[in-house]
Structure 1
Amino acid sequence: MDRPGGDFEGVPMRSVPRLTLPLLVTVVSLLGLTAPPAAAEAEPWSQGTVRTVGKLIWETQDGRLGLCSGAVVDAPNGSVVATAAHCVRSRESAQPPGELWFVPAYDHGRDTYRTDGWRVRSLHTPAGWDVTRETVAILHHDYAFLTLERRDGRTVEEVYGANRAAFEPVREDREVAVLGYPAAAPYDGETLRYCRGTTDVLREGEAQDPNLGGLLLPGCDLTAGASGGPWLQDYDPASQSGTLVAVVSVGSGRGDIVGRPFPAEARDLLAAAGAA
């Protein structure tokens, strides 16, 4: 929701029937951005799906479906997915979902996510993601790694491949594709959408403190449900994978999104998820 002066209200984005969509809208001030890099609006992925990108689905206590996005990331156990921390724990929902599923290459599978998906075995969020605090105070830590169970003795990475995780600092002015499954209007969450542009790291004078260090992509209308979706550089069509530099964290509600990159300390968190 827009506020006078170009800031944004810290309220959840609109949901659609039977869904709960934890994409955050927080206070973002784009001061000093006189010529932000151009980016396309969210479009359908031309190949339909990406093997290493998928959808997170869970059933809430009131019987609705919770939706987020995520991507397989290379790890020793072959069973790790990267997403946003607010997808699994938030100030409003401090307890993680009781049963959480990841569906790689999701495409119109809302009724079959348990048979098509890989069940999440454990959640790994950074210590700084303290949901007893205000969300704007912990946005620097809005990333998470999920460890999946095997299916038929195989890991998700064996079957679908994986993306390479990159850690801060993120190089600017590199081509990036941001992918996810937006489910709030005008989208239905059933198909993969993406925006393309160049990375722009938010620095002092460009944003308020909660979003400093985040990656900005203007002109991208990915909506709720795309939370946790990957920001991929160096995408390789053959392997359907790339370098994962961030996950979708917040949106302005008027066509700007911010991705949260992985700080150096995220290496230990990924190692823990990859050893689980």
Structure 2
Amino acid sequence: MYRLGRTALPAVRRTTRALRRVSPATRRAALPIGVAVSLILGMNGASSAQPATSAQPAAVADRSAKAPVVSAPNRLPNGEIIDTEQEEQQLRAFWTPERMEAAISADAADGPSGDAEGATGDAGAVGGQGPVDMGAEEIGPDGPPGQWPAKLPENEPPRVELPRVDTSSKAAADKALRTGAPVGKPRLNGIPTVGKVFFRNPLDNQTHACSASSLLSPSRLLVLTAGHCVHTGPQGGRPGRWVDSWLYIPAYYETSRPFGSWVARQLHALAGFTDNSELRWDVGMAAMIPLHGQRLTDVVGGLAFTWNRPIGLRVRAVSYAGNYGWGQTPYYCDGTTQWVPGDTRIQFDCDMQHGSSGGPWIYQYNDGRGFALGVLSSVYCCRKARSPYFNNSMRDLYYQAGS
């Protein structure tokens, strides 16, 4: 995740009371659904929530046409396009437990205006030169609220039961403490609709990781993440590159793969990010290949997708934050969306950092389900998690990637 400004807190220090490890014991909110919607325009899903009192930046122009959808096929490290079952198996074999544990969080810091001020990310990390913040040239909503599907599935989501952790030795106990694993008894921990993605950055030839989530879509094969988790963006005057070796593991837990390893077929992003690294377009999606004849959301479920929602909604951000649990188990923050002052993005109080890039912001969260209306993109100095505002450009990205 792009981090802005101050140095990260120590990895084991827990300073945000709203941050909790994901567990089915968490409070389950009621799940009211939006009104009837139009399939063609994404279904008007007007919310009953009232906008926040935070002032909305003054609109200058609607520039959604300047963020067209771009895409590229997923490739093996040698550059071969993944289009056969044998190549899928090659990629799964590439991602050994050792490689997954060693993968670097796709993080880079930059100053408030995107000038890489105070950067603390790895020199070769995705987006390592810092993104560009173009200011309030477009704000949402730029159309009526919409969502897909019109109604969330009523079936119970699948469960994730983690193995018992051996605490018979000091080493095993230390491991349990380090990862936040359940101690002494099995426990549900994590949600199938959120997982971890692994990929290789061709600019630094290193392996990286982000958070991600499965989305309900017509294809039933769609994954949501941050734009810098599918494309590097321009760096140091050089054009950006699509990442490769992209693999998604739903409900990832300490290298375990409870629902299998899903290989991406196609990566999708917005040109505003791939051409200019603009954070307001820092959204990425991936179309997956069916696994054993099954489609992703048929196996793990998915979040509904929504856009042009009002500000002031209560959301839950879920991610594999490295500063909480070493990126091996999912954590969450709850908060209320507000505009970033003088900007087109949204934010709320949360300090999940390394590895949290790509984690969904979930509206009307209920036991792993709800509506994705944002994605963890950056954290600015004082524990402000930020996301692009999901407007019509994100709607177009969703329809193209998920059809």
One of 83, 88, 101 as aligned partner of 2:230: 88
Matched, 1:66 2:196: no
**Residue 21 of structure 1: CA displacement?**
6.6
What's the RMSD between the two structures over aligned residues? 3.2
* 1:67-122 deviation digits (Å, cap 9, x = unpaired): 1111111111100011111111122382222210111111111xx66x93201110
**Residue 14 of structure 1: CA displacement?**
3.6
Matched, 1:49 2:190: yes
- 2: distance between equivalents of 1:27 and 1:221? 20
Q: Work out whether residues 280 and 387 of structure 2, in 8 Å CA contact, stay in contact via their aligned partners in 1.
A: no
- 1: distance between equivalents of 2:220 and 2:226? 19
Task: Give the direction of change, closer, same or farther, for the CA distance of 1:20–1:7 in structure 2 (3 Å limit).
Answer: closer
**Residue 251 of structure 1: CA displacement?**
1.2
**Residue 52 of structure 1: CA displacement?**
0.5
**Residue 2 of structure 1: CA displacement?**
4.0
Q: What SS is found at the alignment partner of 1:189?
A: coil
Matched, 1:149 2:289: yes
* 1:114-172 deviation digits (Å, cap 9, x = unpaired): x93201110111232243x3x3xx2221112210011000011000001011111x223
Q: What SS is found at the alignment partner of 1:86?
A: helix
Matched, 1:215 2:343: no
Matched, 1:179 2:318: yes
- 2: distance between equivalents of 1:193 and 1:25? 26
- 1: distance between equivalents of 2:395 and 2:191? 25
One of 296, 299, 309 as aligned partner of 1:159: 299
Q: Match for 1:234: what amino acid? A: Q
Residue matched to 1:230: 360
* 1:214-236 deviation digits (Å, cap 9, x = unpaired): 22112x11112111110001112
Q: Work out whether residues 268 and 285 of structure 2, in 8 Å CA contact, stay in contact via their aligned partners in 1.
A: yes
Task: Give the direction of change, closer, same or farther, for the CA distance of 1:2–1:189 in structure 2 (3 Å limit).
Answer: closer
More strand by share: 1
Q: Work out whether residues 133 and 280 of structure 2, in 8 Å CA contact, stay in contact via their aligned partners in 1.
A: no
Tell me which stretches of 4 or more aligned residues in structure 1 moved more than 3 Å. Answer: 6-15, 19-29, 44-47, 59-64
The total of aligned residue pairs comes to: 238
Task: Give the direction of change, closer, same or farther, for the CA distance of 1:26–1:226 in structure 2 (3 Å limit).
Answer: farther
Higher-Rg structure is: 2
Q: Work out whether residues 21 and 67 of structure 1, in 8 Å CA contact, stay in contact via their aligned partners in 2.
A: no
Residue matched to 1:262: 390
User: Where does structure 1 lack aligned partners over 5 or more consecutive residues?
Assistant: 30-43
Q: Match for 2:225: what amino acid? A: T
Q: Match for 2:363: what amino acid? A: Q
**Residue 10 of structure 1: CA displacement?**
4.1
- 2: distance between equivalents of 1:98 and 1:173? 37
Q: Work out whether residues 22 and 87 of structure 1, in 8 Å CA contact, stay in contact via their aligned partners in 2.
A: no
Q: Work out whether residues 53 and 104 of structure 1, in 8 Å CA contact, stay in contact via their aligned partners in 2.
A: yes
Q: Work out whether residues 57 and 66 of structure 1, in 8 Å CA contact, stay in contact via their aligned partners in 2.
A: yes
**Residue 20 of structure 1: CA displacement?**
4.8
Q: Work out whether residues 101 and 118 of structure 1, in 8 Å CA contact, stay in contact via their aligned partners in 2.
A: yes
TM-score normalized with structure 2 length: 0.53
- 2: distance between equivalents of 1:186 and 1:253? 17
Task: Give the direction of change, closer, same or farther, for the CA distance of 1:106–1:21 in structure 2 (3 Å limit).
Answer: farther
- 2: distance between equivalents of 1:94 and 1:259? 21
* 1:33-71 deviation digits (Å, cap 9, x = unpaired): xxxxxxxxxxx7995211111111113455632011111
Matched, 1:102 2:248: yes
Residue matched to 1:33: none
Task: Give the direction of change, closer, same or farther, for the CA distance of 1:21–1:142 in structure 2 (3 Å limit).
Answer: closer
- 2: distance between equivalents of 1:25 and 1:127? 13
TM-score normalized with structure 1 length: 0.75
- 2: distance between equivalents of 1:233 and 1:186? 22
- 2: distance between equivalents of 1:71 and 1:271? 16
Residue matched to 1:37: none
